[in-house]
A and B are shown apart, each in its own frame.
Chain A
Amino acid sequence: MTLLLAAPDPNTVAARLNPVSKLTALAVVSVPLLISRDATTSGLLVGIELVALPMLGIGPRLLRQAWPLALGLGTLWAANFLASGSVTGLLPVSLRLLALGLPGLLLVASTDPTDLADALVQKWRAPARVAYGALAAFRLIPLLAAELLTLRRARRARGIGLGRTPVGWARTATGLLFALLVQALRRAVRLAAAMDARGFDATGPRTFARPSVLHPGDWAFVAATVLLVAAVVATSVLTGQWRFLLA
């Protein structure tokens, strides 16, 4: 199971990092990007990221798998373009989106969801019920696609097409989504019962079959991120390029 389309390659440096160190690094990088609006700060960060990602094992092959993320970024960019109407004025905002998106990609493309849930519960004391519940729900998503196809076929078999007018189409699509929701809820209820029958709602202390460990490499990775981000901000402030977002 993956957050994206293909399973993360467990042999890359990025995949061996603990998910919470990747989340921390993402938070560290996002701080200056959220409070500045100049192209220098974000440009420097993008430059560093473009060098760092391949070192961590996120190559062009992984980038190709990240198309949903690219699509999201592209949509944001297009919305900004439509709102402002100029390309040059978009340079800072584009760089900021890219500088945020690349470390996001690192997290998404290299993290196994099971590892993420383990790390959140064991390292950050996230409630197990939420983390593993979400994980179980995540596993059901591919089933929804198959279910939708069957529901569409069942409708066609009974003489119902997708509708020839926009109104008819909207009505059929709404009915279809409602039917899908009903099936999803029923399966979710059954899964929840099966999980509780295996003690998921037990009140006693829980143990962990897979220890989530922070290796020296994790500390080094977070420290390096903090140092590099601090260096970028210092450079940008000292050269007089820094622009505070609200200034």
Chain B
Amino acid sequence: MSGRRRPAAVTAQGWGWRHAGRRAWAVAGLDLAIEAGERVLLLGASGSGKSTLLAGLAGLLHGQDSGEAAGRLTIDGVAPSEARDRTGLLLQDPEAQLVMARAGDDVAFGPENHGVARPEIWRRVEEALAVVGFPYPRDRATAALSGGEKQRLALAGVLASRPGLLLLDEPTANLDPAAAAQVRAAVGDALAASGATLVLVEHRVAEWLPLIDRVVVLGEGTAVLADGPPGRVFAAAAAGSLRAAGVWPPDRIPVRRTARAPAGGRERLVARGLSATYRGAPVPAVRSAGLTLPAGTATAVVGPSGSGKSTLALMAAGLLRPGAGWVVATDQPDRPLHRRRPSSLARAVGTVFQNPEHQFITPTVRRELLLAPRRLGWPTERAQGRADELLDRLGLTTLAEANPFTLSGGQKRRLSVATALSVAAPVLVLDEPTFGQDARTWDELADLLAGVRDEGGALLIVSHDEAFVAAVADRTFVMTAGRLTSLQPEPEPSAAVVR
């Protein structure tokens, strides 16, 4: 069984899958044929069943416990669960893919499971690590790797089993642009070396185009909305016919949401001389950063992963005590933010976290929105009114009684922003708000944040999504190795907050 490099062919005939305990089919009646060696980009709005299809192809959907199948899905004529050693699946979260403590051992894990002889295992480990450009020796601790390095190592682990069908489920969604480019290059090299068939699910289309020769767009209920060479499919997308499926042409330039008022309103948050050093770290994560957030202005901080921008956001949100320097919100200019009680902090600053699920506390969407207002002692009527307003504005009214964890990715993101807006704090801090979001949620988020800004909100957006920053931000700072540099002159704080 081992050592075959022949690309695999895929057929789906009326294939469907319903997860155990769900009423609706995640995929239904899918007819699709993929030739050996084809490189297919799978597009579609969230909920169209793309990830379920990949899991099915990876042989993960079998057995009565996990759900119910319909129709036929085959890889080279056999069921995917019988063709495990022909497929390789790379997922989004680098943390949830590495098994072993040392890099080489991790790559060897797949071949071990498939019963490859020992000398051959290590030959393949060396080969796979070379293909992905892994820069360290094979005894490197996996825990010491960056997110991008982990993802390339996970790709090496997939390649070591020499799959004829490579399945990639948003492999770069959690990475900064530089790390994402390295993963894409590694995938390109791997495809060139193996000639394997590729099925890729990815929202950011443009960068992947050189590796793709066919685009399949799935709609509601896994209907194939469009299928063909990228040029033809994206010409249709440009004409707008695929907008409902969340597909935008790769050369689309997002609309810039210009501020209604000129930048530089009354300052809402002032930070000076901020520094932070993590325990055991040789150098500070942030060095002497100064920042002023005026009302009605969206301020962006960009920079690569590890440059200290998330640490800066935590300090600006009053969630991390600065090692040196100070942050105040101007409603209480004499009290450092990190020293304020949680309820007092929530009145001044709302925070949106990278992973929306971290913010969910209650069993229903509505109660998430009532939580902070109640904590702050709002009268019931006012709290209910605010919750209704936010539900309506974010298109969550029909989901008011749903459990937050059952929402789609885009709905979760909108709810997490809504919770931060629930008490209408004058400052909103967002850490990578577009992380792992599809194009439609991306646009909704841009509109929403521009709206909050135009109502007088002072926004701090920390992001490596350059397009998002270009679409929303009025001023941009760059973070490099803990140093914050402004692309615009920083306004002086008024006398009230000078300490």
The answer to whether the Cβ of A35 comes within 8 Å of any Cβ in the partner chain is: no
> Interface extent on B, as a size class?
35 or more
The answer to whether the Cβ of B341 comes within 8 Å of any Cβ in the partner chain is: yes
Q: Given A159-B345, A190-B91, decide whether A202 and B114 contact each other with a Cβ distance below 8 A.
A: yes
State the Cβ distance, B327 to closest chain A Cβ, in Å.
14
Q: Contact: A208 with B112, CB < 8 Å? A: yes
Q: Closest residue to A161 on the B side, CB-wise?
A: B342
The answer to whether the Cβ of B108 comes within 8 Å of any Cβ in the partner chain is: yes
Q: Contact: A197 with B60, CB < 8 Å? A: yes
User: A159 CA to B375 CA in the complex, in Å?
Assistant: 7
The interface stretch among B80-88, B436-444, B472-480 is B80-88
Q: Given A159-B376, A160-B361, A211-B118, decide whether A114 and B101 contact each other with a Cβ distance below 8 A.
A: yes
Q: Which residues of B lie under 8 Å from residue A211 when comparing CB positions?
A: 118
Interface positions, chain B 384-443, Cβ under 8 Å from A, are 405, 419-420, 423
The answer to whether the Cβ of A179 comes within 8 Å of any Cβ in the partner chain is: yes
Q: Contact: B91 with A156, CB < 8 Å? A: no
The answer to whether the Cβ of A210 comes within 8 Å of any Cβ in the partner chain is: yes
State the Cβ distance, B140 to closest chain A Cβ, in Å.
12
Q: Contact: B85 with A199, CB < 8 Å? A: yes
> Interface extent on A, as a size class?
35 or more
Q: Given A160-B375, A209-B108, decide whether A198 and B158 contact each other with a Cβ distance below 8 A.
A: yes
Q: Which residues of B lie under 8 Å from residue A197 when comparing CB positions?
A: 58-60, 84, 87-89
Which one of B98, B111, B423 lies within 8 Å of A159 (CB-CB)? B423
State the Cβ distance, B275 to closest chain A Cβ, in Å.
19
State the Cβ distance, A142 to closest chain B Cβ, in Å.
7
The answer to whether the Cβ of B223 comes within 8 Å of any Cβ in the partner chain is: no
Q: Which residues of B lie under 8 Å from residue A151 when comparing CB positions?
A: 358
State the Cβ distance, A149 to closest chain B Cβ, in Å.
10
User: A157 CA to B425 CA in the complex, in Å?
Assistant: 11
Interface positions, chain B 72-98, Cβ under 8 Å from A, are 84-85, 87-89, 91, 93, 95-98
Q: Closest residue to A209 on the B side, CB-wise?
A: B108
The answer to whether the Cβ of A234 comes within 8 Å of any Cβ in the partner chain is: no
Q: Contact: A154 with B96, CB < 8 Å? A: no
Q: Contact: A159 with B346, CB < 8 Å? A: yes
- Which of B84, B102, B116, B125 gathers most chain A CB within 10 Å? B84
Proximity string of chain A (159-199) to chain B, C-beta cutoff 8 Å, 1 when within and 0 when not: 11100000000000001000100110011001101111111
User: A204 CA to B82 CA in the complex, in Å?
Assistant: 11
Q: Which residues of A lie under 8 Å from residue B350 when comparing CB positions?
A: 157
User: A183 CA to B1 CA in the complex, in Å?
Assistant: 37
User: A1 CA to B106 CA in the complex, in Å?
Assistant: 13
Q: Which residues of A lie under 8 Å from residue B97 when comparing CB positions?
A: 190-191, 194
Q: Contact: A194 with B319, CB < 8 Å? A: no
The answer to whether the Cβ of B130 comes within 8 Å of any Cβ in the partner chain is: no
The interface stretch among A66-74, A83-91, A131-139 is A131-139
User: A187 CA to B355 CA in the complex, in Å?
Assistant: 13
The answer to whether the Cβ of B115 comes within 8 Å of any Cβ in the partner chain is: yes
Q: Contact: B84 with A209, CB < 8 Å? A: no
The answer to whether the Cβ of A215 comes within 8 Å of any Cβ in the partner chain is: no
Q: Contact: B99 with A136, CB < 8 Å? A: yes
The 5 closest A-B pairs by CB, nearest first: A159-B346, A199-B113, A1-B101, A209-B108, A190-B96
Residues of chain A having any CB pair with chain B under 8 Å: 1, 112-114, 132, 135-136, 139-140, 142-143, 147, 150-151, 153-161, 175, 179, 182-183, 186-187, 190-191, 193-200, 202, 204-211
Apart from the given pairs A186-B357, A199-B85, A199-B114, 19 other A-B contacts in the complex at a CB distance below 8 Å: A113-B101, A150-B355, A153-B314, A154-B353, A155-B361, A156-B319, A157-B353, A158-B419, A159-B345, A159-B346, A159-B347, A159-B423, A161-B341, A161-B342, A190-B97, A191-B97, A196-B60, A204-B115, A211-B118
